[in-house]
Amino acid sequence: MKASPSSRLGAAPSRRKALAGAALLLASIAPLHCAWAQAGSSSAASFPTRPVTVITAFAVGSGPDAVLRIVGEKLAARWKQGVTVDNRPGGGGFVAIEAARRAKPDGYTLLQLDSEHVSALPYLYKQRNFHPLQHFDPVAPLFLTPFFVAVPTNSPWKSMGDLIKAAKSEPGKVSYGSWGVGSPGHLGGEWLDFLTGSKMTHVPYREVSQLYTSVANGDPAWSFASIPSSQGIYKSGKIRYLAVAAPQRIAQMPDVPTVAESGGPADLIVNSFVSLLAPKGVDAALRDRIHADVVAVLQDPQVREKFATFAFQPITWEVPEMEKFAKTKADQYKLLIQKANISLD
């Protein structure tokens, strides 16, 4: 039934009242929104007004710990506030993650993780169904670690082509070691198998030092290695590097070819990205302030010189780039973990 003229005329004032009420509501909200924005900006400008704690999943004396302390000292001088490093290794990163997750998202508690913690944990610990980026916001990058393919000095392999040929000729016989299930060294080996159609046997170790001692003795036949973790035994002449799993050669080892140059697949890029995160919900202006200060520290010549001793590559990515890298890693790790049926549950 059509509405009468009188009923249509009666509806118009009601709509006008409703629109007027909405306008008043928006007008009252707008100053609040501006106040919140100004408060966030003001908080970022004055940050920090008290000491900052960085919880790390890495042990005291490790490469990431050493780098974090270098950066922390520079930030403390810049902020005129103390920066405390709180080492919480263990539990596949969950000890540190749980400690940081309970903190307020106010910038005063940060978390240092690598790309494996961020991107591989959801697939290694399926029953936990824990996705770190659902609980933490990326804040600032620190560095990228490239990995080398290490073999005993007396290994018959002179190139990646030799290693791959041996692995494909006798499936399961060639072994490689790593510093744990789900580590970059393990997943890098799975990636090499995937790219070449080979099948090698993974041997996990609890101690990195034990791993490279074993590689030097030829059992396992090879492993991935970072410069900080393997330089001692490398300089003693007990292992050598066949190649670096990176797009370009590394300045600290200019004579070591890339995997592609050594007869292996160019797509075999194995690295680990270490960054700082904050509990989910950190104010964007505050995050940007911390990001800018960390990036400024990473550009300090003294800091870069110290990073170079570890062959760590300082990274100055913006937050979207960090998120993109983590997503790319997650897609790759999901594929490898599901293919090899790896689980840490």
Q: What is the pLDDT along the chain (345 residues), one digit of tens a residue?
A: 444 433 333 444 454 554 455 445 445 544 544 444 454 556 788 899 999 999 999 999 888 999 999 999 999 999 999 999 999 998 889 999 999 999 999 999 999 999 999 999 999 998 888 999 999 999 999 999 999 999 999 999 999 999 999 999 999 999 999 999 999 999 999 999 999 999 999 999 988 889 999 999 999 999 999 998 898 999 999 999 999 999 999 999 999 999 999 999 999 999 999 999 999 999 999 999 999 999 999 999 999 998 988 889 999 999 999 999 999 999 999 999 999 899 898
**Does 17 map to a domain?**
no
Number of domains in the chain: 2
Distance CA(342)–CA(104), nearest Å, equals 34
* Predicted pLDDT of residue 17: 52
- Domain edge (last residue) among 196, 229, 262: 262
For residues 134 and 277, state if they share a domain.
yes
**Rounded distance between C-alpha atoms, residue 203 and residue 179, angstroms:** 9
E strand or H helix at 130: none
Q: Which pLDDT score is estimated for 32? A: 45
296 by Cβ neighbours in 10 Å (0-12 / 13-18 / 19+) ranks as: middle
157 & 137 share domain: no
Joined tokens for residue 35: 């106040």
Structural domain including 194 reads 146-262
Among residues 195, 229, 262, which one ends one of the domains? Answer: 262
Hey, what are 236's tokens?
């003693």
Whether residues 276 and 172 share a domain: the answer is no
Kindly state whether residues 131 and 190 are assigned to the same domain.
no
CATH number for the domain including 288?
Answer: 3.40.190.150
Residue at which a domain ends, from 219, 237, 262: 262
Query: Cβ-count burial of 133 within 10 angstroms (0-12 exposed, 13-18 middle, 19+ buried)?
Result: middle
Q: 10: Cβ–Cβ under 8 A, 6 or more apart, which residues?
A: none
294 occurs within a structural domain: yes
Contact 184, 337 (CB under 8 A): no
Q: What is the distance of C-alpha 49 from the center of its chain?
A: 28
Are 257 and 303 found together in one domain? no
Predicted pLDDT at 3: 42
| 288 and 242 co-located in one domain | no
What is the pLDDT at residue 12?
A: 46
φ, ψ dihedrals at 272, nearest 5°? -135, 135
- Asked if residue 18 is part of any domain, the answer here is no
- pLDDT in the model for residue 207: 84
Same domain, 316 and 247: no
Give the integer Cα–Cα distance in Å for 76 and 22.
48
pLDDT score for 22: 47
Q: CB-hemisphere CA count at 13 Å for 43?
A: 17
The per-residue pLDDT for 41 is 58
Nearest CA among 275, 232, 265, 318 for reference residue 145? 275
- Give the length of the chain: 345
Answer yes or no: do 163 and 221 share one domain.
yes
Residues 6+ apart with CB under 8 A from 102: none
pTM summary value: 0.82
The reply to whether 30 falls in a domain is: no
In a domain, residue 3? The reply is no
The CA distance from 99 to 94, in Å, is 8
Same domain, 133 and 153: no
User: Is residue 251, in this structure, part of any structural domain at all?
Assistant: yes
